[in-house]
Structure 1
């Protein structure tokens, strides 16, 4: 089965698999890259990688309006419940669960996770999706780490990686991450939203093609691709 991916800006993506619309890190309000508003989103599922405001974003508003299932680490799940979100599923690093849309395992990520109000956001996570016919890894905000080799053993159809540097790994480290992960296709994120993370993604894509076995796809905001 094919899967569609829409890039909504920064690190916000929507994965469409069958009847499921999986919205990842829905940062739309206040996102200078965003072309859609939170009010336009109608996901069946929301997944959050960590607690920072540019990833939790509009989760509470969208979840309350749509009733979407929200998946996050335990600390963020508890925080969302306290905000009045009703449909929440807590997981944590290393833990997987068979959801109606497919299997989701939360992986290690090396970053922070404090929530916008200063609450404890637990440990940041990456996302390993095993959807019908496709395996997708969303790294979240992270530094390079050698255990990405283990994630790569899942035989990835797609990896979504940050390349902005400063807060996450930059282009050089992302190339090593690609070698560890060995995905068929890689998409960059978390760059050019603000000056500290400015990068040239097209130069990066050329390097991916020349220095790894993966294919790179630079998505413009609003682009939809089929994997």
Structure 2
């Protein structure tokens, strides 16, 4: 089984085969997550989809305190190396790498990527993670794209984590189509409610998913589930 805990926005901590894998840490600047102690997370890995502040704000602090390996695209990794983070693994689109928790593939996302100081963050991406307990897709910030069909053709996706906040990313309607493309009926929502631009009607989103025979899971901050 795969255990995951939601820490707001697009931040999730997975426990996979005893390893703790943190995705896109944006906690301390998020008013909705002000009760979360980032020092208690202590991940083994930090996976980052792109360079926007609302996905990297706590990377430096957590990486330096935990010694976690940072996995992201080459540009994001290089930027953090200049900040003194040494335990890194750079990737780029289409590339895969096996770690001790599973095999990670960096896949396409349609978005933008600028680091907090204005540096270029390379091209944004998402991750397909294959583990002994199943394969999941962490979409990152993205629009709906036909490239997602390739994910469904190559992998048996158990569940997907997808943005549903609209405006800057997909909304629920496109997330439902994306779930069809990758071949899953389980969507874990992310990238919603943090800012006024992406506030949503969560119950209406769940109803739309239900009508499409999808399960939309919307977690409370700090909530833990096992899939």
Q: Scaled by the length of structure 1, what TM-score is found? A: 0.96
Look up the SS of the partner of 1:207 in the other structure: helix
Per-residue deviation, 1:215? 2.0
1:120: which partner in 2?
Answer: 120
Shifted more, 35-44 versus 186-195: the winner is: 35-44
Q: Is the 8 A contact 2:146 2:181 kept in 1?
A: yes
Moved over 4 A (4+): none
> Normalization by structure 2: what TM-score?
0.96
Q: In the alignment, is the contact (CA less than 8 A) between 1:156 and 1:184 conserved in 2?
A: no
**Is 1:169 the counterpart of 2:170 in the alignment?**
yes
Cα distance, 1:202 vs structure 2: 2.2
Q: CA deviation at 1:203?
A: 1.6
Structure 1 regions of 5+ residues with no counterpart? none
Distance in 2 between residues matched to 1:107 and 1:92, nearest whole Å: 8
Deviation digits for residues 99-150 of structure 1 (CA, Å, limit 9, x no counterpart)? 1111000000000111001111001010100011210100000011012111
CA RMSD of aligned residues (A): 1.1
Tell me what 1:141 maps to.
141
Q: Do 1:188 and 1:201's aligned partners in 2 also have CA atoms closer than 8 Å?
A: no
Alignment of 1:39-78 (within 5 A): 39-78=39-78
User: Whole-Å Cα distance in 1 between the matches of residues 174 and 94 of structure 2?
Assistant: 23
- Secondary structure in 1 aligned to 2:50? coil
1:16 is displaced (CA, Å) by: 0.5
Question: 5+ unaligned residues in a row in structure 2: which ranges?
Answer: none
How many aligned residue pairs are there?
A: 225
C-alpha displacement at 1:220, in angstroms?
0.9
CA distance in 1, matches of 2:25, 2:37: 10
1:217 is matched with 217
Asked whether the equivalents of residues 107 and 128 of structure 1 are also in contact (C-alpha less than 8 Å), the reply is yes
2:173/2:208 contact within 8 Å kept = no
